[in-house]
Amino acid sequence: MNRSIEFSMESETQIKEIDALDKKIIQLLTEDGRMSAGKIAEQLNITPPTVRSRIENLITSGFMRIAGLVNAFKAEFLTIAIVGINLEMHQQLDEKIEQISNLSQVHWAAVVTGKYDIIVEIATTEGIRGIYRFLIEDLPRVGGIRSTESFTVMKARNKWLLLQNGLK
């Protein structure tokens, strides 16, 4: 398991702007999410309390979180799929991406340009049955979906996952 950071653009308390020091702290944590505040301070020539304060601000604002990530292709119990989704009404994009992103198997969801309205990545411990259940049971409950196309991921590189609901 690798510990790394995940970035988010949404937050109740937004950071107005991150500065060069925040970016350096984020870079060091990206390389090693377990790096201590003391080690970061030493490398950046600042004090450990400054590092802790900066990290806390980035986390509290929702800009960053520190988490353990799993190598998806070393975790043989996981099946990953990409699903392209077309909606019945484009006016519902914001509502539907919110609902879809809250489904338990969804690792990430994005509104995109091109053939699909929304692309999602799902991770399941149930293999093909889990993908089928997502497409036939879970996604239809969201409603307003005109069509989907799914792609089972057979192999990938640098694919790290944050297991949203643990190892179920």
Residues 94, 111: Cα–Cα separation, whole Å: 8
Average of per-residue pLDDT across 89-112: 94
Residue 166 maps to a domain? no
Q: Using the structure block, give the residue that is written with the tokens 């990953």.
A: 80
Task: Give yes or no: residues 96 and 157 share one domain.
Answer: yes
Q: Cβ contacts of residue 103 below 8 Å, gap of 6+?
A: 122, 134, 138, 139, 142
pLDDT at 8: 44
Higher per-residue pLDDT: 14 or 111: 111
**76 band by pLDDT with thresholds 50, 70 and 90:** confident
Looking at 68, 90, 110, the residue that finishes a domain is: 68
Average of per-residue pLDDT across 23-35: 91
Q: How many CB atoms lie within 10 A of CB 64?
A: 23
Residue 167 maps to a domain? no
Task: Give yes or no: residues 50 and 120 share one domain.
Answer: no
Task: Give yes or no: residues 54 and 85 share one domain.
Answer: no
C-alpha dihedral sign at 164, 11, 31, 83: positive
pLDDT at 165: 58
Average of per-residue pLDDT across 62-86: 87
Residue 145 has pLDDT above 90, yes or no: yes
Task: Give yes or no: residues 105 and 129 share one domain.
Answer: yes
Residues 152, 121: Cα–Cα separation, whole Å: 10
What's the domain range around 130? 79-161
**83 band by pLDDT with thresholds 50, 70 and 90:** very high
Q: What is the dihedral of CA 17, 36, 163, 140, to 10 degrees?
A: -10
pLDDT at 7: 47
Residue 12 has pLDDT above 70, yes or no: no
pLDDT at 106: 94
149, two tokens:
């196309």
Task: Give yes or no: residues 109 and 55 share one domain.
Answer: no
Looking at 23, 44, 68, the residue that finishes a domain is: 68
Task: Give yes or no: residues 154 and 86 share one domain.
Answer: yes
Task: Give yes or no: residues 87 and 135 share one domain.
Answer: yes
Residues 79, 71: Cα–Cα separation, whole Å: 12
Q: Is the pTM of this model over 0.75?
A: no
- Report the chain's mean pLDDT, rounded to a whole number: 86
pLDDT at 164: 66
Q: What is the dihedral of CA 21, 25, 26, 30, to 10 degrees?
A: 150
Task: Give yes or no: residues 11 and 45 share one domain.
Answer: yes
**161 band by pLDDT with thresholds 50, 70 and 90:** confident
